[in-house]
Amino acid sequence: MRAVAVTEFGGPEALHVVDVPDQPLGPGQVRLRVRAATVNPTDTHLRSGAYASRDPVQEFPYVPGMDAAGEVLEVGPDAATDLAPGDRVMAVVVPTGAHGAYREDLVLPAASVARAPDGADDVAASTLPMNGLTAHLALAALALRPGQVLAVTGAAGAFGGYVVQLARHAGLTVVADASEADEQLVRELGAHQVVRRGPEVAERIRELHPDGVDGLADGSVQDAQVLPAVRDGGAVATVRGYRGDGARDLRVTPVLVRRAAEDAAALERLRALASEGVLTLRVARTFPAEEGAEAHRVLEAGGVRGRLVLTF
């Protein structure tokens, strides 16, 4: 079974096509033929070994990838799902060892798999699960009410874009950051107000909202730099484990998508919103699986809008 994996941590050149054993299908599980796997920043961090001290890899080859799309091949016994062989699906993956999305054949808990959004091909469908679930978790952690103000940094990215669209759909007022080149995109995603991105983004948000915003989703991973944008008593959702500095009365919640990897209801909700056009599935470029290293190089070079996707 082909997979794109690393046998030791390193740069993009560490990624190779390797053969890995088939995974056994157990109770409550589904086997997928993977047709598309999205390349995300977490994949490049894992490939380089940046997370090794926090989350040690137990075995090599290590197969990255946290979301995939393709076709159901088999459904195991006692799987609480109505999925059947031949169904086109998307899935969120928690990588460990050779179990990652960058492989042709993948066994997952049935609750980690949902039908693909209506009208979306495998490439487009693969862009939704991980970043969509992370955005869903961020908004749940912030727990804002309709009419309150949410700031979103990194709004042109995959996570930030989904946060903007979900927040707008939930009736929040959205102020988002963007470069000049991305401003139109961020407005089209649904931001009510746009400020220029950068290290002074908190000051620019405060110019529009002098008392501070009610909540902030920090997709740009600026951590302490963006806290001044939020009012006392407000809430912040972060994506790389940052928990705040304790200097002010802020509720800072790190969002970990692994905790929602088997949230079938949330995946189905995202599928429905994408089918309705509330969520936009953005594909920047596709690469054959054999060019996984090049996909990582392109992502790390920066400036990608939409997702890079490996195809099998």
What letter would DSSP give residue 5? E
pLDDT of residue 104: 98
pLDDT of residue 296 exceeding 90: yes
| pLDDT category of residue 153 using cuts at 50, 70 and 90 | very high
| pLDDT tens digits for range 199-245 | 999 999 999 999 999 999 999 999 999 999 999 999 999 998 899 98
Mean pLDDT in the chain?
Answer: 96
pLDDT of residue 308: 98
pLDDT of residue 59: 76
CATH fourth-level superfamily of 2-128+281-311: Medium-chain alcohol dehydrogenases, catalytic domain (3.90.180.10)
With tokens 């997370």, the residue in question is: 51
**Helix, strand and coil in the chain, % to nearest 5:** 30, 30, 40
- Specify the CATH number of the domain 131-257: 3.40.50.720
pLDDT of residue 57: 60
The residues of the chain that CATH labels 3.40.50.720 are 131-257
pLDDT of residue 7 exceeding 80: yes
Residue 253 CB neighbours (<10 A): 18
Residue 19 in contact with residue 58, Cβ under 8 Å?
Answer: no
The residues of the chain that CATH labels 3.90.180.10 are 2-128+281-311
SS3 34: strand
Asked, as a colleague might, if the bond just before 61 is cis with ω within 30 of 0, I would say yes
State both tokens at 271.
Answer: 């599928």
pLDDT of residue 51: 79
pLDDT of residue 259 exceeding 80: yes
d(CA 29, CA 4): 23
Chain mean position to CA 73:
25
Residue 286 CB neighbours (<10 A): 15
